[in-house]
Amino acid sequence: MITRKLYLLPSYQKHLFSLIISILCLAAAIGLSCILHSVAGKNPVNTTLLFILFLIVVSCCTAGYFYGILYCLLTCLYFLKQNIIPFDYPVAFVSMLAITVFISTLASHLTLQANTIAEREKQLSEIEMEKMRANLLRAISHDLRTPLTGIMGNSVVFLENQAHLSEQEKAAIVTNIYEDSNWLINMVENLLSVTRIRDQDLCISTNEESIEEVVAEALQKMEKRHPECVIHASIPDQFIMLPMDAVLIEQVTINLLENALYHSRSSDPIDFIVEDKGEEVTFTVRDYGVGIPAEKINSLFDGVDYTNPHSVDTHKGMGIGLAICKTIITAHHGTLTGKNHKNGAEFTFTLPKTKEETFFQ
C-alpha cells in the first residue's frame, strides 16, 4: 500500500510527496474538466464526479487529512470561479468535505492495520529465528563432538596398538578417521554458508544464475566425494535463469543428495528432478530407502537429528544440515519440504523466478 510506504519516509519527504500529489491531482482534474467542457459542454454532475475521483486519489495517497481538505477547498474555489456549482448549493461543498474526511480516515486506519500486521510478522519472524538459532547450536554441539571423539579414539588406538594391529585393522582405523574428517569438513562448509546470510532479515545478495550450471557443479562435486553414488538427474531442456546465490543453492543441493545417500540405507539410484512450475522452479531429491520416521516428519528442520541414535553412522545426522538448508531457502524466499513417498523419502525446495522486494517488508 502506498500510504504504508509513505509513512516510512522522513517527515519532510512525506509532506513534500503529499503536496506534489495534491497539486498534480488538482491540475489533472482541472485539465480534464476543461477538455470535458469543450467536448460535452459544462455539466456540473460530470465535473463534480471527475473532481471527486481525484479527491479519492489524494485522500488515499497522502499523509493525514490536511492535503485532502486542501484539495477540497481549492476545488470549491475553482467551482465558484467557473460557476460550475453556484454558491447557494452548500450541500455540495459539505458533501465533498465529508467524503474527504471519510476516505482519509479509512486510509489511515488501513495503514495502521497494515503496520500492525507487519510489526507482528516481524516479531514472529524474530522468534522463529531465535528458535532456529538455538536448535542449530544444540545440533552443532552434537554433530561436531561425535566425529571429533571418533577421530581422537581411533588415533589413540592406532598410536598405542599399531605394533599389534594387522594391515587390515590399520586401514579400517585410518578409513574411519578419514570419514569423520570429511564429515567435519562438510559441516564447516555448511556453517560457512550460513554466515553468508545476514541474521536479522535473512537477506542475501542474489544474481541471475543458470540452473543447469549450478546443478552441474553440485553433481560434479558429489561425483568427486562419492564415486559410488548413482544419481539420475532430470533437468528441463529450456534455458532457465533464477535469482540466487549460486554457492548457497549448490550447498543445499549437495546436502540433500548426501542425506539421501547416507540415510536411505539403500544402494538404489537417487533421483534429482528439476521442474519449471511457471512462477517458480522446484528441485526434488528422491531416494528409495527406509524413509523418514513418522514421528519426525513435523520437526525435520528444527536442527535435531531424526536418525536412529543407535545407528553406526549417528555422527552423520541430518538435523543440522536440514536446518541450514531451510535457512538458505527461506532467505531465497522459497520453501523446503520433506515427506515420505511409497518407496522412500523425498525433499523438495522451490525458488521463485522473480527477485522479491524486501525493502518495505
d(C-alpha 234, C-alpha 283), whole Å: 10
Q: Please state whether the predicted TM-score (pTM) of the whole model is above 0.75.
A: no
Predicted local distance difference test score (pLDDT) of residue 66: 78
DSSP-assigned letter for residue 274: E
d(C-alpha 170, C-alpha 164), whole Å: 10
Assign 271 to helix, strand or coil. Answer: strand
Predicted local distance difference test score (pLDDT) of residue 216: 93
Predicted local distance difference test score (pLDDT) of residue 303: 59
Predicted local distance difference test score (pLDDT) of residue 352: 93
- CATH of span 203-361: 3.30.565.10
- Could you state, in order of their start, the residue ranges of all structural domains in the chain? 2-120, 203-361
DSSP-assigned letter for residue 242: E
In degrees and rounded to multiples of 5, residue 201 shows phi and psi of: -125, 15
Question: Which residue matches cell numbers 528422491?
Answer: 286
The contacts of residue 210 (CB under 8 Å, 6+ apart) are 239, 240, 241
CB atoms within 10 A of CB 134: 12
In degrees and rounded to multiples of 5, residue 280 shows phi and psi of: -145, 165
Characterize 93-119 residue by residue with b for buried, 16 or more Cβ atoms within 10 angstroms of its Cβ, and e for exposed.
beebbebbeebbeebbeebeebeeeee
Torsion sign across C-alpha atoms 233, 317, 331, 345: positive
Helices (H), the chain: 2-7, 11-40, 44-61, 66-82, 90-161, 167-194, 211-225, 246-263, 319-331
Predicted local distance difference test score (pLDDT) of residue 236: 92
Predicted local distance difference test score (pLDDT) of residue 272: 96
C-alpha cell at 176: 574411519
Question: Which residue matches cell numbers 542474489?
Answer: 206
Cα angle 232-236-238, degrees, rounded to a multiple of 5: 150
**CB of 274 within 8 A of CB of 282?**
yes
Predicted local distance difference test score (pLDDT) of residue 125: 73
Cα angle 225-178-292, degrees, rounded to a multiple of 5: 60
Predicted local distance difference test score (pLDDT) of residue 184: 80
Angle between helix axes 246-263 and 167-194 (nearest 10 degrees) is: 140
pLDDT tens, position by position, for the chain (361 residues)? 455 555 555 666 777 888 888 889 889 888 888 888 788 777 777 787 788 888 878 877 777 677 777 887 788 778 777 776 655 556 766 776 677 677 767 776 776 777 788 788 878 877 876 776 676 666 666 667 777 888 888 899 888 888 888 889 889 899 888 878 877 877 777 667 666 665 545 567 788 999 999 999 999 988 888 888 999 999 998 999 999 988 889 889 988 998 898 888 888 999 999 999 989 999 999 999 998 888 888 778 765 554 544 444 444 544 567 878 888 898 888 999 999 998 999 999 999 998 654 433 3
**CB of 306 within 8 A of CB of 318?**
yes
Predicted local distance difference test score (pLDDT) of residue 230: 93
Predicted local distance difference test score (pLDDT) of residue 310: 44
How far, in whole angstroms, is CA 273 from its chain's centroid? 22
In degrees and rounded to multiples of 5, residue 166 shows phi and psi of: -75, 165
d(C-alpha 252, C-alpha 233), whole Å: 16
**CB of 78 within 8 A of CB of 30?**
yes
